Structure formats: structure tokens, C-alpha cells
Amino acid sequence: MKTLVIAEHNGENLSAATLSVVDAAKKLGRDIDLLVASNSASNVLKEAKAVEGVSTVLDFSDEKFANEIAEDLAACIVSVRENYDFFLASSSTSGKNNLPRAAALLDIQQISEVTEIIDDKTFKKPIYAGSCIATVQSSQEKNALTIRTTSFEKTGASGGSAKIETKDVPDTVSRKSGFVKNELTVSDRPELTAADIIVSGGRGMQNGENFALLEAVATKLNAAVGASRAAVDSGFVPNDYQVGQTGKSVAPNLYIAVGISGAIQHLAGMKDSKTIVAINKDEEAPIFKVADYGLVADLFEALPDLESKL
Amino acid sequence: MKILIPIKRVNDYNVKVRPNQTNTDVDLSNVKMAMNPFCEIAVEEAIRLKEAGKAEEIVVVTIGDDKHQEQLRTALALGADRALLVKTDNVLQPLDIAKTLAKVFEKESADLIIMGKVGIDGDNNQTGQMFAALTNLPQVTFASEVEINGNSVHVTREIDGGLETLTAEMPAVITTDLRLNEPRYASLPNIMKAKRKPLEELSLEELGINIETKITTLKVESPPERQEGVKVETVDQLVDKLRNEAKVI
């Protein structure tokens, strides 16, 4: 039996998350196939073929994959179920949306947000916003896992030479949902979940304009900009900046938390960062309990100072 | 239009949950319980649709022991019309929850099923998608805006990278994200009134559900503790530490 990894892409490039999922898949000790559902995404297929460790790329091509609809993707996964005893996707919004639908159709109890693969039946995953780590064992013949990408390395993006297998696209004309539009945040910074350094702002930033102070520091460090839920709810920055239990999980080399108190829900998304810096004027703020370096200071003085010294 | 809202009883979100002494499970013995925050948002959305004249009836459902009546009563006090408790002492995993809800849906039917995107206890984010699969209904997950348009629903979703809008023909399944709305509080008169609203009990047996334990928890531990850090006095010291000690910049 083999492992099927559901590839993520934006129509042009394979996402870095997919490389982490392939790394996780390697720990299961089976041949790895990559499922690519796309509309004529020749470059995605080229990149998929080159991923180190992948045997076969399953190419599902159809206009309907221009936008990803869970019903369509789940049908693709189900159509190739016989050859696989593992189905893996990243725990991005895409993987979270699609894989449980496929798992239910295959009568599989999925395991979400896997952070460690102990053996092919035993896995670790955080529960209760990361307050506890559960070790779970599956008695199922087939398993579906979403992978917390920050807990795994990225497998090589080149050097592989998988063969491409063209698959028949399942008919889902009767599906009852459809794409209308998307509004994506345009940014020239590194992607939040893939960045080496992240500078995040919280309620202490006071407004959206003040995020310019953070961005100036981020520019010097080639860092991504993140935010706490408070900053997002107050409308300072868009939702997809949010780090935490309900936002993105990140684990960069350096995480600089500015004006963030450090609620459990925020810590859930960043406490596996290698080095954590907190800048906060409240010296009692819980963020200092997890920070390697804490600076008790007014961020409006500290940020420009920091920028000038980098 | 009828709306079905599955809700979940979980720990209060402010409580930090710890493993029990034998590391076999979490210790919830003295933990304050509440309705899952994402489920509160689902209830609120349904009430708003009813207030806007788009929905006639709101039915809430949960699965669990007698204590789960508390969360059903909370939903009734907020504005739900009827409640269903599928009674069991077992703790069900998402696939079994989805199967149970699919049976409830067969019995009750509904035009819209709104539920939280994730329980803050298991952090699974599966039930809505699984329920939609089992009932062969369209799914729109992580909703931050819901608009009813005749026989279909327009939903803005929160995705990595921004927002996406999908349309789905009803009946449809929507899972809620935090930014969908700001849930209201129940008033005392409404809490009193909720006590007289119908709360029907069902059993897993009469729904024909056999629970299958497909995943067993072997161990529950605290995550590794981080070393206590140091406080620096100045930005200069901070930059020096990051450059020369942590070597991260």
C-alpha cells in the first residue's frame, strides 16, 4: 500500500506546505504519490514531478479545478482509494476543508494537526489549544492525517523524477456549490507560515497606521508580519495575518511579539518558535513567560529604535 | 426555513487545561464548562437570520450526558426554539458525531445547518465537513459572512491568503469562523422562558448508531516547557543578544 499526499498549489506553484507533508509522509515508509487537481497547471505538474521522494504524480486536470471546491477534490481522493492506506494533507485552510470530507466518504476517522509520526499507527497531536499533547493510536486499516507543517522539515523541491499518471476526473456536475470570487491579500513579504522571522503586533499597536512601525522592522529583517486576534478584530490588519489557535500556526527561527499580551489562544500558534522576543510595556504580561528575551518598554519608542539599529 | 445547529459542550476557553495525574486524559474534574465559542457564533447567526425574517425555526442539538442540557438551555435562552439531546455517556469522535447528526438530519431535515468550525477541546475541525459528506450536502467552511439569496446561500470564507466567496444551494452546511458575528448574552427573562421550551431526548440506539472507537488515546502530556528567558533593559542589548547569543539575525 502507498501514501497519497494531496498537493496544494495556487495554479502556478506548488505550495511549500506540500513539501512538509511529503516529509511527514516519508516517515510512514511507503511509496508516496502526489495528487494534483488543477486546470492545465503545467508548471505545478513540473514542480510536483521534481519533489524528492515522490513516485507518481496523479494528474487530475479540469477547468473546474481553477478554484478548489471540497466536493470536487474529495471525489478525486475517493476515486483512487484502493491503492492507498494513508491520505495526507496539510493543516492549512485547504487541507482542513477537503480532507475530512474525503475521510468521511471513506469511513475514516481523521487525525488532525499531526505534529509527530511515531509509527504507522501512532501519532502525536496538540489538543486544547496546545495546552496538552495527545498520543493517539489508530486501529483503522486506512488513515487520513492533516499535518502541522511547522513540525516537519521540507523535503527537497528538486531532484525527484516522478512519473505523471493522467487520471479520469470524477463527475461532480450535480454538486450544489460553486465559486463566486476571492479577495487575496497582496504582499511582497515572505509568507507567514514559511517565514524565518515574524514580527507580530497586538492590541498595543492601537491602530492600523501604527503597523507601519512593525513593517519597517520587518523590512530590515526580511520578516513576515503577523498579528494577534485582538489586532485583527480591531481591524488593524486583515484576518489572514492572525497567528493562533484560530489563525495560523507558525514556528519561525525568530518571533517578535509587539504589544501582544500572550493569551493561551495566541501562544497556541507560536510557542514552538525557536527564539521568542516580547516587547511590551506591561511587565506582568503572560507573553514574558515564554519569551527568551523580554523588553519592558513602550513599543512606540522601542520599534523605531530597533529599526535604526538593525 | 428551518435551521439546525449542532453545538458542543467544552471547557471554558479561558481555562488552561492540564493532563490528569496518570497522563491518560485531560483533567476536566474542576473545570468550568461552556458552549464552544464557535457554536455560540452559529447560534447567533441563526437568530439573526430569524430576526431578519429569513428563518422560521431554529433547532439546536447536542450529543452527550445530562449535563449537556445546560448548553442546550443556553441556546434556547439565546433564541433557539427547540432542543434535541442525543443522550450517551460516551464521548464521540468527529466521524461518529457526524454520523449521529446525519441521522438527526434525516429525522428533522433543515434548510441550513450551521455549526462551529472547530471544538476548542479536540481541535479537530472535521465534524461539519464529515456531516456534509455523509448527507451529500454542499459545504461552506470557515464562514465570516452569510447571505441568503432565495434558494441559495452566499458565504464569504476565511482562507489562507485572504477571503473567498462561494455559493451553495440549500440545504447546505456552513461552519462558522470567529469573525462571522459577535454573540449576544442571554437576558434573565429569556433564561426563565428557556426553561419552558421543548427539549427532547433521543438515544444513539434509536438513531441506529454503533460507536466505533477507531482512535484510542494512549497518553496525554504537557508540552515541553520553554526555558525561562531573560529581560533586557535596552534595544541595544536586545539587538546584541539576537545577533551574538541567539544568532537569529
Residue of A259, A244, A131, A267 lying closest to A193 (CA atoms): A244
- Residue B212's pLDDT is 87
- The C-alpha torsion from B146 through B153 and B62 to A115, rounded to 10°, is -70
- One-character DSSP codes across A13-47: SB-HHHHHHHHHHHTTTS-EEEEEEESS-HHHHHH
- On the question of pLDDT at A40 being above 80, the answer is no
Percent of chain B with pLDDT over 70: 100
Nearest to A134 among B13, B169, B220 (CB): B220
The distance from CA A48 to its chain's CA centroid, rounded to whole angstroms, is: 18
Name the minimum distance, in Å, from the CA of A134 to any CA of chain B. 4
Task: Using CA coordinates, name the residue in chain B closest to A96.
Answer: B125
Q: What is the pLDDT of residues A115-137, one digit of tens each?
A: 999 999 999 999 999 999 999 99
Is residue A80 left, alpha or beta, with left meaning phi > 0 and alpha meaning psi from -120 to 50?
alpha
Q: What is the pLDDT of residues A56-82, one digit of tens each?
A: 999 999 999 999 999 999 999 999 999
Cα distances from B216 to residues A138, A140, A189, A210, B103, in angstroms, run 6, 11, 42, 48, 24
Q: Give the mean pLDDT of B87-106.
A: 97
The pTM of this model reads 0.96
Task: Report how far residue A130's alpha carbon sits from residue A147's, in angstroms, rounded to the nearest whole number.
Answer: 15
Across the interface, whether the CB atoms of B215 and A295 are under 8 A apart is answered no
Nearest to B132 among A101, A135, A185 (CB): A101
Count the neighbouring beta carbons within 10 Å of the beta carbon of residue B179: 19
Across the interface, whether the CB atoms of B159 and A254 are under 8 A apart is answered no
Complex confidence, ipTM? 0.96
Residues 105 through 144 of chain B touching chain A, CB cutoff 8 Å = 118, 120-127, 129-134, 137-142, 144
Residue A175, C-alpha cell as written in the block: 454538486
- What rounded mean pLDDT belongs to chain A? 96
* Phi, psi (degrees; rounded to nearest 5) at A227: -155, 160
Q: What is the pLDDT of residues A132-141, one digit of tens each?
A: 999 999 999 9
- Residue A212's pLDDT is 97
Q: Does B227 touch chain A (CB under 8 A)?
A: yes
CA Rg value for chain A = 21
Task: Report how far residue B14's alpha carbon sits from residue A207's, in angstroms, rounded to the nearest whole number.
Answer: 26
Task: Report how far residue A240's alpha carbon sits from residue A143's, in angstroms, rounded to the nearest whole number.
Answer: 30
Across the interface, whether the CB atoms of B138 and A71 are under 8 A apart is answered yes
Instruction: Supply angle C-alpha B41, B43, B46, rounded to 5.
Output: 110
Task: Using CA coordinates, name the residue in chain A closest to B211.
Answer: A109
- On the question of pLDDT at A41 being above 80, the answer is no
Contacts of B144 by beta carbon, 8 Å cutoff, 6+ apart: A239, B156, B157, B158, B163, B177, B179, B180
- Residue B77's pLDDT is 98
| Helices within chain A (DSSP H only) | 16-26, 42-50, 70-79, 93-105, 211-221, 229-233, 264-270, 299-309
Across the interface, whether the CB atoms of A137 and B161 are under 8 A apart is answered no
Contact B3/B110 with Cβ under 8 angstroms? Answer: yes
Contacts of B234 in chain A (CB under 8 A): 295
- Residue B110's pLDDT is 98
Count the neighbouring beta carbons within 10 Å of the beta carbon of residue B207: 17
- On the question of pLDDT at A187 being above 90, the answer is no
Task: Report how far residue A164's alpha carbon sits from residue A46's, in angstroms, rounded to the nearest whole number.
Answer: 9
Contacts of B143 by beta carbon, 8 Å cutoff, 6+ apart: B155, B156, B157, B158, B174, B175, B176, B177, B180
Lowest mean pLDDT of A27-31, A199-203, B110-114, B225-229, name the range: B225-229
Name the minimum distance, in Å, from the CA of A103 to any CA of chain B. 7
For B92, which DSSP code?
A: P
Cis peptide before B171 (omega within 30 of 0): yes
In this prediction, residue B169 has a pLDDT band, given cuts at 50, 70 and 90, of: very high
Q: What is the pLDDT of residues B192-224, one digit of tens each?
A: 999 999 999 999 999 999 998 999 999 999 999
* Phi, psi (degrees; rounded to nearest 5) at B24: -105, -15
Residue B85, C-alpha cell as written in the block: 439531546
Q: Give the mean pLDDT of B133-151.
A: 97
Task: Indicate the burial class of A215 (C-beta count within 10 angstroms; 0-12, 13-18, 19 or more).
Answer: middle
Contacts of B141 in chain A (CB under 8 A): 70, 93, 96-97
Nearest to A113 among B123, B162, B178 (CB): B123
Task: Report how far residue A231's alpha carbon sits from residue A235's, in angstroms, rounded to the nearest whole number.
Answer: 6
Q: What is the pLDDT of residues A81-120, one digit of tens each?
A: 999 999 999 999 999 999 999 999 999 999 999 999 999 9
- Residue A158's pLDDT is 96
Task: Using CA coordinates, name the residue in chain A closest to B95.
Answer: A109
Percent of chain A with pLDDT over 70: 100
- On the question of pLDDT at B65 being above 80, the answer is yes
Residue B38, C-alpha cell as written in the block: 464557535
In this prediction, residue B80 has a pLDDT band, given cuts at 50, 70 and 90, of: very high
